[in-house]
Amino acid sequence: MGLDAKISSDDGSAGFKGKVTQLLKIILRTKEGRKIRNKEQTIYACGPQPMLREISIISKEYNIPAQISLDEYMACGLGVCLGCMIQTKQGQRFVCKDGPVFETSELSW
Per-domain boundaries in the chain: 70-101+105-109
Residue 50, classed as helix, strand or coil, is helix
pTM of structure: 0.81
CA angle 32, 37, 40 (to 5 degrees): 120
CA dihedral 21, 26, 28, 34 (to 10 degrees): -170
Fold of 70-101+105-109: Dihydroorotate dehydrogenase B (pyrk subunit); domain 3 (2.10.240)
| pLDDT category of residue 82 using cuts at 50, 70 and 90 | confident
- Over residues 24-59, the pLDDT tens digits come to 999 888 876 666 666 678 899 999 999 999 999 999
Q: How many CB atoms lie within 10 A of CB 6?
A: 12
- Residues present in the chain in total: 109
